[in-house]
A and B are shown apart, each in its own frame.
Chain A
Amino acid sequence: MFTETFLITLFLGAVMAGIPLLLAGLGEQLSEKAGVLNIGLEGMILAGAYAGFLTAWASGSSAVGFAGGAGAGALVASLMVVFCVILGLNQIVIGIALTLLVQGLTALLHFVQFSRSYPRLDGMQSWRIPGLAEIPILGPMFFSHNPVVYLAVILVAVFAWIYRMTHLGSALQAAGDKPAALDAAGVDVIRTRALAVLTTGALAGLGGAFMSVAVAGVFIPFMSHGNGFIAIVLAMLARGRPLWVLGGALLFGASLSMTTALQVAGVNVPVDVIQMLPFAMVMLVLLVAGRKASLPAALGESFERGAR
């Protein structure tokens, strides 16, 4: 069963399924660090998937699709910023509302435009890194991917660097842990949080666009299929460490892509069982690691100067 093909299929599947989780998870981690529990993540992914597909389809360019997806994610996030960061409404309620809004709206818009047909995009080209991509096994595994994959992996390092080494990292940490202290230090808490949430939206939107443009090549209503919620769990378990989000995303990606890999290997397991895997995995991981999860002190609390 553990043939070379099986492993490569599984790994590639893990990457393809894991990248949206990684991007959204990194984004959620950023928001949570800054003190905003972004439950609207699922909606941001879906908005990105829809807009990414639409722009890629209209322009014929996947790059435009990715940009469109990120933009749509940020647009949904801007609603989150207005309602939760600026007006200080309940983050959980608004997050759920945004997700429901995007689910309905994208399904409706897609139906209006395409009725019941699901047009496909042309196959995606990957960036084969010259030389390295020719190495057997490792080549197809690591050096022959969509540019977004490389970007996502680079972002892991970038975020780790920002969190540890920059003023911005300290400011984000303070916005989530003790916003009043950040305010007293003269940094605008609202602006810091808004920046974090908008970035989250762009990242989640990019993740969604990756799903529709690069993986599926098609937009299907509700296609984000709980990825946003898995990403929220990932971000909470990763406790502020971007590298853990990467590991978690690959783990969940692997369990999501298990179906294909097993079919390739010719093993016959009921599809339902395998589709249950990622969610069983979430529960298992929560059982093992969930108790140690520590979240920012001011997570989910709106900030108002001088309030006690």
Chain B
Amino acid sequence: MQAPVGAMADAPSATPGPVVALKGVTKRFPGVIANNNVSAGIYAGEVHVLLGENGAGKSTLVGMLSGLQQPDEGHIEIGAKRVTVTSPRHALSLGIGTVFQHSMLVPSLSVVDNFTLGGAWWKRPDREGQAARILETAARLGLRVDPFALVATLSLGERQQVEILRALMRGSRCLILDEATAMLTPQEAVSLGELMRRLVTEGLAIIFITHKLNEALAYGDRISVLRLGKNAGEIGPEELRAHTDAENTARIIALMFGSAAGQGEAAMREPRAPGPVVLEVAGLTAGSGRIPLENMTFAVHQGEIFGIAGIDGNGQKELAEALSGQVPSRGSVRLNGREIGALTVGGRRAAGLRYVTDDRLGEGTVATFPVAVNFLLKEIGSSPFWKKGVENPQAIRAQAEDHVKAFDIRTPGVQTPVGKLSGGNIQKVLLARELTGAAEAVIFAKPTYGLDVQNIRATRARIREAAAAGKAVLLISTDLDELLELADRIAVIDRGRIRGIVENGPGARDAIGRLMSAGDSA
């Protein structure tokens, strides 16, 4: 963490002090210190990236700058004057405009009504005048916005542009973009980056919060790294320009994860002799999903990781649900030679088939239930955790504490509702539930989707462990690099069909690419 004085010395001589500065800000929540003595300076004409993994305290920092929360210790300075930001409105009047990760527009109102929200209530909104101003500002920034469109009809990227526009038109000098690219398509993310660059040339200060390294390097002038709620370091504009992207990347990774977790090239999986067939799927056909599955046939051996590659939305979800028994299907599914295609979800689980869903908070866990109960979600009522229908709290607690330790789940306690944990920790809860006990075959659906680097690593290690322990692993992923790193064999799925199966090894990437683009001829 650099002292603000040092930071000022770094800045070009023409630049005055920071527009907004955080001075030793600390914020505590029950059980956690979200921010611990964080300092940072935000300068006009700069995109200041706040980088950190999930749970590093980025959102809390935004909350304090935008007036949703007040720091417990330390303070915020605006134009070198100490201020207490009491409310979002106060933040706006101080020139801090925030675009939150989740849209803050009212979906049932038009764009222009969202802009006029907050006017004196007895007055009629000046819709025409406001619309003209919106169009004028949008044109200046190279954005296209229909002021009379209902917000609910806009895409997420368009909504974000509207929010940026609104923040600017209310006179923000410092714009905060909280995880702004998380919900965007890649194209939308790129145009957001370009917009940020245009805005800073107009003299605006931007705080861009992200956990994506490449975005930080592509759009940032100054990068601050947060780790476990503390400043882990800051890289100023000169330093950033003086080094290559690769050098900066290495430096940032070291800051984000400590020196222990370098960007070591993941070794490809050792080839191994396949064991006996564990999971055998033949002629699997299912018509109830969005993408009908047609005549899928494959087998997964003991100790093997069998990858399913393909562009998202080509039947991956449907395949996982058909195998786990969540949707009806025809054809044969055998586990260790036993036909399980006619069994219910519970029956298949009892037979040893496990499914780690990608919908972690939807079908994976019940957000309001404690962590301890979520471990047992698929076994409610079974002994020894329930005796004759009566809960046995000691057994549940003991098992939960074992899991928390074994899977390194960061939670204030086993009675904490699972919804309060970060995405990575929720995934660990799921893994703990599905990988323990008598698992024979495990289906992973996009297991690292939406996780940060460290949790991705931990999850991949678990998948490897599962295979090493002799389980048959079906790994459905849209990340080809992940499959090439983990899988023994990789099948390509396209519009509900298996287009081909490739042995992982040199040349696998090309072969998979060809199968993906083969189209209907296959």
Contacts and interface: CB of A to CB of B under 8 A. Distances in A.
A181 B114 CA distance: 9
Interface string B86-110: 0111001000001000001111110
Interface residues of B, number: 27
Contacts, number: 78
Nearest to B108: A177
A154 interface: no
Contacts of B116: 167, 170
B63 A177 contact: no
Given A186-B89, A306-B63, A167 B104 contact: no
B113 A184 contact: no
Contact of A171 (B92, B108, B117): B117
Interface in A161-218: 165-168, 170-171, 173-174, 177-178, 180-187
Nearest to A181: B104
A305 interface: yes
Given A186-B88, A306-B63, A306-B69, A178 B119 contact: no
B274 to A, nearest CB: 47
Nearest to B118: A185
Contacts of B107: 177-178, 297
Contact of B105 (A167, A181, A183, A296): A181
Contacts of B122: 166-168
Majority-rule SS of B interface residues:
loop
Given A167-B121, A170-B125, A186 B106 contact: no
B120 A167 contact: yes
A190 to B, nearest CB: 12
B405 interface: no
A187 B108 CA distance: 17
B449 to A, nearest CB: 21
A183 B125 contact: no
A305 B123 CA distance: 26
Contacts of A170: 106, 109, 113, 116-117, 125
A170 B127 CA distance: 12
Contacts of A297: 107
Contact of B109 (A166, A173, A183, A184): A173
A178 B121 contact: no
A129 B114 CA distance: 43
A168 B120 CA distance: 8
Contacts of A181: 104-106, 114, 117
B255 to A, nearest CB: 28
Interface in B487-501: none
Interface in A131-177: 165-168, 170-171, 173-174, 177
Given A167-B120, A186-B118, A306-B69, A180 B104 contact: yes
Interface in A257-308: 296-297, 305-306
A173 B118 CA distance: 12
A177 B151 CA distance: 12
A166 B125 contact: yes
A187 B116 CA distance: 11
B96 to A, nearest CB: 12
Nearest to A184: B88
Contacts of A187: 117-118
Contacts of A165: 124-125
Contacts of A185: 88-89, 117-118
Interface string B27-49: 00000000000000000000000
A304 to B, nearest CB: 10
A219 B251 CA distance: 80
A180 B125 CA distance: 20
A183 B68 CA distance: 10
Contacts of B106: 170, 173-174, 177-178, 181-182
A170 B115 CA distance: 10
B110 to A, nearest CB: 9
Contacts of B66: 184
A177 B120 CA distance: 20
A181 B117 CA distance: 9
Contacts of B68: 305-306
Contacts of B88: 183-186
A182 B124 CA distance: 17
A181 B118 CA distance: 10
A184 B63 contact: no
Nearest to A297: B107
Contacts of A177: 106-109
A121 B98 CA distance: 60
Interface string B387-430: 00000000000000000000000000000000000000000000
A161 B121 CA distance: 13
A173 B107 CA distance: 10
Nearest to A186: B89
A187 B107 CA distance: 17
Contact of A174 (B89, B109, B120, B125): B109
A66 to B, nearest CB: 25
Most chain A CB inside 10 Å of its own CB: which residue of B92, B107, B108, B122: B108
Contacts of B109: 170, 173-174, 177
A165 B119 CA distance: 12
A180 to B, nearest CB: 6
B112 to A, nearest CB: 10
Contacts of A171: 117-118, 121
A73 B119 CA distance: 29
Given A173-B108, A177-B108, A178-B107, A167 B92 contact: no
Contacts of B123: 166-167
Nearest to B125: A167
A274 B63 CA distance: 59
A130 to B, nearest CB: 33
A74 B154 CA distance: 40
B117 A182 contact: yes
A173 B106 CA distance: 8
B421 to A, nearest CB: 13
9 contacts: A167-B117, A167-B123, A171-B121, A174-B106, A184-B104, A185-B117, A186-B92, A296-B108, A306-B63
List 9 tightest A-B contacts by C-beta distance, closest first: A186-B89, A185-B118, A306-B68, A168-B121, A184-B88, A167-B119, A185-B117, A174-B106, A181-B104
Interface of A: 165-168, 170-171, 173-174, 177-178, 180-187, 296-297, 305-306
Given A167-B119, A174-B109, A174-B117, 18 more contacts: A166-B124, A167-B124, A168-B122, A170-B113, A170-B116, A171-B117, A171-B118, A173-B106, A173-B113, A180-B104, A181-B114, A182-B106, A183-B88, A186-B87, A186-B88, A186-B118, A296-B108, A306-B63
